[in-house]
Amino acid sequence: MRVLIAPDSFGDTLTAAEAADAIAAGWSSARDDELILAPQSDGGPGFVDALAADGGEVIESTVSGPLGDAVTARWLLDGATAYVEVAQTIGLALLGRTPDPESAVAATSRGVGQIVAEALTRGATTVVVGLGGSSSTDGGAGMIESLGGPDAAVAALADVDLVAATDVDNPLLGPAGAAAVFGPQKGADADAVRVLEERNADWCVELDRIAGRAVADLPGAGAAGGLGAALLALGATRTSGADLVAERTRRHDVMPTVDLVLTGEGKFDSQSLRGKVVTALAGSAREHGVRTVVLAGQVRLGEDDMRAAGIESAHSVTDFAGSVDLAMSDARAQLTGLAADVARTGSWA
């Protein structure tokens, strides 16, 4: 049997590549199948690593982290196209502390703009920004500030093909917006969410001015704490991060040749149904009559929702480990054990 192993990252515990290796190790310990590893990303953590497998130069740059401390961020330059991963510069893991209301309000996207600026100096004429895994909710204000301000940013990017790679379709503001939906995941309490919402609403006036149109309600404007809105205001087109990675990893060519897809992510919940890697894979697999099995840190979806998305079954690392703490502190070993258990028991069949 040919098995495609194509997970997303597992939050801050495992990169997509590490998750793929762990699943492969567990599966192969129980079954002698042909395994094809293709780590995926929807634009969030692991975006650069997934794309770099197809070539290009991975560059390390020292930029401002989410709270101002210097961080080393990796990005990819392939010909005249630069691929920037937001999580590399302002990811939650780069806070250096547990997210809290103070960090949620203080975190800035400045480092993203610094990498974009460096990419331009190196001759990039296309800049693709992978949106996801950010700790900031500043509406991209920090990014635009580091490009010299709104008008300077517009001028710098006037002849650049700017792309926002995201599978999140949330708007910038409102109950489905960046602050309300993603703020709590970044440590924001109710008061911090209100501050972030009001700040982004004020900032959006400036974004609308430079865009010459309203951007807050555009699909993807709320991605990465509102970085999507800033990129759209600067003329970016929006594309599916998952589809972009799928194309680079030739996932669509491989899919018709396999018998089973193993994928996964940190938390398999209602957000997973909004075009993220897992459901994008399941949809592609279903078109070819291939079964999809999910191995996730936590599973928060019912069977009806999973079946509707084309997913055969979903299995929780937390349930296997017996606790959230062990599932996160020993993520690689627990995911390996879960994969072996699923393979051995045939619960994928």
| Cβ 201 vs Cβ 147: under 8 Å | no
The third-level CATH classification (topology) of the domain covering 2-40+250-345 is Rossmann fold (3.40.50)
Dihedral Cα 254, 255, 261, 267, nearest 10 deg: 100
Share above pLDDT 90 across residues of the chain, in percent, rounded to a whole number: 80
pLDDT of residue 286 exceeding 80, the answer is yes
pLDDT of residue 344 exceeding 80, the answer is yes
Summarize pLDDT for 297-326 with one digit per residue, the tens. Answer: 999 988 888 888 889 999 999 999 999 999
pLDDT at 275: 62
pLDDT at 160: 98
| Cβ 176 vs Cβ 170: under 8 Å | yes
167 vs 145, which has greater pLDDT? Answer: 145
Choose among 4, 5, 6, 8: nearest CA to 266.
8
pLDDT at 242: 86
Least confident range of 22-26, 109-113, 124-128, 243-247: 243-247
pLDDT at 159: 95
Q: What CATH code is assigned to 47-241?
A: 3.90.1510.10
Residue 253, C-beta contacts closer than 8 angstroms, at least 6 positions apart: none
Burial bucket for residue 73 (CB in 10 Å: 0-12, 13-18, 19+): buried
What value does the mean pLDDT of the chain take?
94
Query: Tokens in use for 302?
Result: 């019912």
pLDDT of residue 19 exceeding 90, the answer is yes
| Cβ 256 vs Cβ 163: under 8 Å | no
- Distances, alpha carbon 104 to alpha carbons 109, 113, 228, 239, 304, in Å: 12, 19, 18, 27, 35
Domain ranges of the chain: 2-40+250-345, 47-241
pLDDT of residue 349 exceeding 70, the answer is no
Mean local confidence (pLDDT), 146-158? 97
